[in-house]
Structure 1
Amino acid sequence: MSTPQAAGQVWAHVGQAFTDPGYDVVVVGAGRMGSACAHFLRQLAPQQKLLLLDEGGLPSEDGATILAPGLWSALDPAPEDLAEANWVRQQLATAFGDVSLESRPLVALQARKTADAQPTAAVLHRFPSLAEVIDPQALPWATLDERAVTYRPGAVALSCGQQAVRRGADLMLNARATLVPGGVKIERLTVTNTHEVVTHETHHLRAARVVVALGAAGPHAAEHDLGVHTAHARAYRQAPRLNVPSTRDTPVVRAGGLTLRAQHGGFTLVPPIHHRDPYGYVPQGGHLTGVPTGLRRETLEDLVALMDAVPVLATEALELGRSLSDVPGAWLALPGGLARGRPLHQPLTEGAWLLLGGPQADVLGLSTAYDLAAALTGVAGRPWH
């Protein structure tokens, strides 16, 4: 009879004493990708000592995990990746508890007819609530994905991190990591009563394997800390609000690359990504009829271009904000520098690997995290094959 696995140690603040027990693997970043990798590492190699750490909390409050659209659709992955995406969908439905998984048909609107398209007018007859949102004359054809689902990526990250700790992984929060050859330097952080972040402890940890799962900051960390150049990029994506009534039966709509996800009685808008933002670029708000807005200029231009097809974008239902901080946004990794690049992992130096999510993390992020965990533990085969 096997002995139950003891739970791991959790360090949440610098008042808890820390002594390095010697780790086999350190995962830097407790967003969706890092937490999922830690979860699968504990499944595949429970004998290895594992530390998951983040500069904030679990799930990470920085980056795209909290603001990710949480939309799985068979229309998003390439045909050769569909079996892998289906495995991710099954995991979302069975492996992580309540992640607010809901069936939501996806209506992809288009100007030209394709083999699997149907008239937009017929779709509006089935989903009458969309009649106030879109103009069927501007985008007369629609493709339906009946299997699409929405979920909360932050809940997936939280569940993965908690399961990893229950299986024996250690977790350290409020800790900043710097990559060094053969391990990481950890600065344990605290906040003063004037809200100043300060370093109270510094530790140098040696680890045979380090997984860099810092999202959009990962490629910069690889270059700045390890001197390794990568081809990956990042972009700042906002998620403005559209205050048009929606219900649990309202489908997800995609028009011109813009995704309208029915959420909280209205819609969350997920704009398309056309290009990368250079490192050091600070997103700037745009102007609409001469008035400053909180939507960055590139996003505002996209929405203006869609106002004929989605007329409600030209009304006061769209929350523009007055400054960039008024509209939720986060940096998003672009694997390979491409807007539609699939998630990936790659070796950086001896013992260090980069793990990136990106625009297709909703449909392929979990499988990519599993793939890296399997590679690091020598497990052959993948469950989706």
Structure 2
Amino acid sequence: MPPAEPPNPPGQVWAHTGQPFTHREFDTLVLGAGRMGASCALYLRQFAPTLSLLLVEEGGLPNEDGATLLAPGVWSGLGVPAERQREAGWTRAQLETAFGDISFQTRPLVDLHAAPGANRVPSRDLDLDAALVDPALVDTDALAWASVGTLAATYRPGALALNAAQAAIRAGAHLMLNTRAQLCGDGSVTLERLTVTNTHQIVVHETHRVRARTIVVALGAGGPHAIDHDLGVHSAHARAYRQFPRLNTSSTDASPLLRAHGLTLRPQNGGYTVVPAIHHRDPAGYVPVGGKLTGVPTGLRRETLEDLVAAMDALPALGTDALETGRSLSDVPGAWFALPHGKPDGLPLHEQVAPGVHLLLGGPHADTLGVSTAFDLAARIAGVEGRPWEELE
């Protein structure tokens, strides 16, 4: 475990171009203030409080256009390899206690199936929330078997990013918002401070060149692109565009998570957020477009639409007006997500891609393993030995 926050003076925040910036060198730059970058910055301040650190974010905190704000926020050991289960458990403990109020809540995860299998019981025998067994939502004849994960949990990744960044600033980290970063390949980074014109165009207001001994690239789906284009380092990582339709079927704080047909229904704001599976990487240059449902234009991309149609018999609520499909892509929340090693089930990782430059990636399992991966990178940069989860029983 890292030590308590050191008694350093708080860092400075540059939120807009009216605040002059004259710094030319830091010990560490962390590019990207999503949950991965922000938590890495916090752990770095705790491990190495004497090293100067600048956290850079292209948008606000949290970034409304980033994947962190739209991430499902579902902790679950389901799908995590056995060798990383202790790490996942350590991450769960961190989410519950180390980041303040992030709306962490333990919920059972009910995994529904059409056929019997190991550790599955008849769905009708489960003591579930009434809304979950409502025939309008779940057809328990089609999904007659279920297994239950009692330790699953939900939280708000956007709140985690905000709280981690604020704690890092209190511990002496500096933060620059509304700034685009470009790697230069010589230990320096070009920072483009952005502003908005009176015609709502985003323009570069001023440019600075900053050097650092260590650079952490935590730009989410944009990280591999930056490594490839700015440094000329080939990356096997990829990205995919993921959408999160809204299902306006009633849920409560006691409603469990539901998983069936590759979909996860996350109780949220009195209804459900539908979390579809990621099937493959999107090719370079792909531009997300909506599809059509019975000839009617929708905002759902084809892969998501096909998943929902295939699940409508077992989850009949998906075939009603309760599902918000929109008329265009902008009507359905979605964001680009990183795919470590180009795999839809790729696990979070960090790797050194050039001298002094580290890539930090979350991906589909960032909810469960992202914080521990950021912790591990921070410990390595600071020269701290050991991984606390390896000491767990």
**Which of these residues, 255, 278, 282, is aligned with residue 277 of structure 1?**
282
Determine if the alignment matches structure 1 residue 40 to structure 2 residue 63: no
1:99-114 matches, cutoff 5 A: 99-114=102-117
- CA drift of 1:169 comes to 0.5
Q: Secondary structure of the residue that 1:198 maps to in structure 2?
A: strand
1:129 aligns with 2:134: no
1:295 aligns with one of 286, 293, 300: 300
One-letter identity of the residue aligned with 2:142:
A
Taking the aligned partners of 1:50 and 1:114, their CA distance within structure 2 comes to 51
Question: Partners in 2 of 1:126 and 1:12 — Cα distance?
Answer: 47
CA deviation string 1:186-243 (max 9, x = no partner): 0111111111111121111111111111100111111110001111111100110001
Q: 1:21 offset after TM fit, Å?
A: 5.1
Aligned-partner SS, 1:294: coil
Contact 1:294–1:320 (Cα < 8 Å) also in 2: yes
Matches of 1:11 and 1:353, distance apart in 2: 24
Shift of 1:377: 1.1
Q: Secondary structure at the match of 2:83?
A: helix
Q: Is the 8 A contact 1:74 1:82 kept in 2?
A: yes
Letter in 2 for 1:144: V
1:244 aligns with 2:259: no
Deviation at 1:309, TM superposition (A): 1.0
Q: Deviations over 1:107-136 (max 9, x none)?
A: 01123322211111112x433321221111
Unpaired runs of at least 5, structure 2: none
The answer to whether the Cα contact below 8 Å between 2:6 and 2:46 also exists between their aligned partners in 1 is no
Question: Residue 184 of structure 1: CA displacement?
Answer: 0.6
1:152: how far off?
A: 0.0
Residues in 2 aligned to 1:221 and 1:58: alpha-carbon distance in whole angstroms: 21
Partner of 1:70 in structure 2? 73
Q: 1:190–1:199: 8 Å Cα contact kept in structure 2? A: yes
Question: Which residue of 305, 308, 319 maps to 2:310?
Answer: 305
- Is the CA contact 1:37–1:370 (under 8 Å) kept in the aligned structure 2? yes
Distance across 2 between alignment mates of 1:82 and 1:240: 30
- Counterpart contact for 1:54–1:173, Cα < 8 Å: yes
How far apart are the structure 2 equivalents of 1:88 and 1:4? 25
TM-score, normalised to structure 2, is: 0.95
CA distance in structure 2 between the partners assigned to 1:223 and 1:292 by the alignment: 36
**Structure 1 segments of 4 or more deviating over 4 A?**
none
**Aligned-partner residue type, residue 271 of structure 2:** G
Backbone CA RMSD of aligned residues: 1.3
Q: Report the 3-state secondary structure (helix = DSSP H, G, I; strand = E; otherwise coil) of the residue aligned with 2:292.
A: strand
State the match for 2:207 in structure 1. 202
- Cα deviation, residue 3, structure 1: 8.6
Aligned residue in 2 for 1:154 = 158
Query: 1:63: how far off?
Result: 2.3
The question of whether the paired residues in 1 share the 8 Å contact of 2:128 and 2:256 is answered with: no
2-structure distance, mates of 1:278, 1:3: 45
Structure 1: stretches of 5+ with no match in the other structure: none
Q: 1:28 aligned to 2:31?
A: yes
Partner of 1:117: 120
What amino acid is aligned across from residue 250 of structure 1 in structure 2?
S
CA 1:26–1:293 in structure 2 vs 1: closer, same or farther (change >3 Å)?
A: same
Q: 1:293 touches 1:321 (CA, 8 Å); kept in 2? A: yes
Match of 1:233 among 221, 234, 238: 238
Could you tell me which amino acid in structure 2 is paired with residue 376 of structure 1? I
How many angstroms does 1:331 deviate by? 0.4
Equivalent pairs, count: 383
The match for 2:100 among 97, 121, 125 is 97
Identity level (%): 62
Residues 17-48 of structure 1 show CA distances to partners (whole Å, capped at 9, x for unaligned) of: 11115201100001111111101100111110
Say whether the 8 Å CA contact 2:30–2:216 is kept in structure 1: yes
Q: Does residue 143 of structure 2 align to residue 165 of structure 1?
A: no
Whether the 8 Å contact between 1:29 and 1:60 is mirrored in structure 2 is no
Cα deviation 1:45-98 (Å, max 9, x = unaligned): 111000000110112222210000101112232121111111111111111111
Q: Is 1:362 the equivalent of 2:367?
A: yes
- With over 3 angstroms needed to count, the CA separation of the structure-2 counterparts of 1:3 and 1:30, relative to structure 1, is closer
